[in-house]
Amino acid sequence: MSAATPEHIMQIGLGFWSSKTLLSGVELGVFSTLADGPADLPTLQSKLALHPRSARDFLDTLVALKLLERENGIYSNTPDTDLYLDRAKPSYIGGVLEMANARLYGFWGSLTEALRSGELQNEGKGGGDNFFAAMYADPDRLRGFLGAMSAISAGAAQAIAGKFPWSEYKTFADIGSAQGMVPATLAHAHPHLTGIGFDLPVVKPVFEEFIAQRGVADRVRFRSGNFFEDPLPDVDVIVMGHILHDWDLAGKKTLLGKAFDALSKGGAVIVYDAIIDDDRRENAFGLLMSLNMLIETSGGFDYTGADCQAWMREAGFSRTRVEPLVGPDSMVIGFK
């Protein structure tokens, strides 16, 4: 029998110390600055406008957290932070962390209140605009959010391009496409495919710019629409990534029913999210994501593969299966 220790409890209980140190590092541009070249403490203190009191503690904390390296007093990025946290590189994933720092970090402070009230705790608290309306009223936040979605979905997009039998299909639509990471990745990997990114009208210019940059504008088009009010495009495959978890059970079932109606016979729907394991005890990220939906939405929640397959069968899909993608994400496929 293993002896009890407080270590695990304390690591989780004070986990926000490490989290916020990284988020402030991204906000201050520590990693982008060091991507220009290694630097010593006085140089960084001046370039990052840090007060002398804690500059050394801050940078050495990042060293101890294995997010920076230090040799003979000279700080540099690790290979990971240089690739993923330098704003000048296309591989930058800091958009998600900037969003977490600017929004979620504060909103999660109200988790206890949310658990008691069942009410969201973000910009929409107290009956304001819904999450997307509030976010999309500000062009900078719109771009930031859509870019963050691309960073979150890049790995899943590659896995979906590799794991689904695309050679059997010709057309697809990505419903709630954001900037278009999934359509761009699918079109790039499979030159026989043509696709549609379907999202709210305000997303169009950001989508079209991204698709042109990726060189697939001849095969991927944008369609403006509201997925609760408008019909979904008639295609062979419908993808819904990080969509179903935003909505309550009725909304989830409505979207799956609309996908079934729009698909051609023999078509398929691919739903991906941080799908929770059926026993609801392993995928901590998926369960935390569901709490994040409590903070961010009025009825959204994450779900297991068994839940989603049952909803798909209820919508009319005849065969369903779950396949892991990358990290905490899995896809649930339903065949019409």
Within 166-205, the residues that bind ligand SAM by CB under 6 A are: 176-178, 181, 199-200, 203
Torsion-angle region of 178 (φ positive above 0: left; ψ -120 to 50: alpha; else: beta):
left
Comparison of 132 and 164: residue with beta carbon closer to ligand SAM? 132
According to the binding rule CB under 6 A, does residue 123 interact with ligand SAM? no
Residue 329 found at the interface with ligand SAM (CB under 6 A):
no
Beta bridge partners of 221: 196
* Contact between 289 and ligand SAM per CB under 6 A: no
Q: Which one, 160 or 312, has the nearer CB to ligand SAM?
A: 160
Question: Rounded CA gap, 26 and 48, in Å?
Answer: 11
Are 103 and 122 in contact by the 8 Å Cβ rule? The answer is yes
Pseudo-torsion of CA 142, 92, 332, 257, nearest 10°?
Answer: 10
Segment interacting with ligand SAM, rule: CB under 6 A, options 114-122, 146-154, 292-300, 309-317? 146-154
Q: Is the dihedral of CA 281, 311, 322, 269 positive or negative?
A: negative
Site for ligand SAM (CB under 6 A): which residue of 42, 226, 321, 327? 226
Q: Which of 77, 121, 122, 153 binds ligand SAM (CB under 6 A)?
A: 153
Contact call for residue 242 and ligand SAM (CB under 6 A): yes
Nearer to ligand SAM, 86 or 296 (CB): 296
Residue least distant from ligand SAM (Cβ): 176
- Asked if 241 is part of the footprint of ligand SAM (rule: CB under 6 A), the reply reads yes
Residue 144's CB is within 10 A of a number of other CB atoms, namely 18
CA 7, 31, 74 angle in degrees (round to 5)? Answer: 85
> How near is the Cβ of 157 to ligand SAM at its closest, in Å?
8
Report whether 235 contacts 219 (CB < 8 A): no
Inter-residue contact 121 to 113 (CB < 8 Å): yes
Q: Is 54 in the site for ligand SAM (CB under 6 A)?
A: no
**Catalytic amino acids?**
245
The region of 7-15, 106-114, 236-244, 253-261 touching ligand SAM under the rule CB under 6 A is 236-244
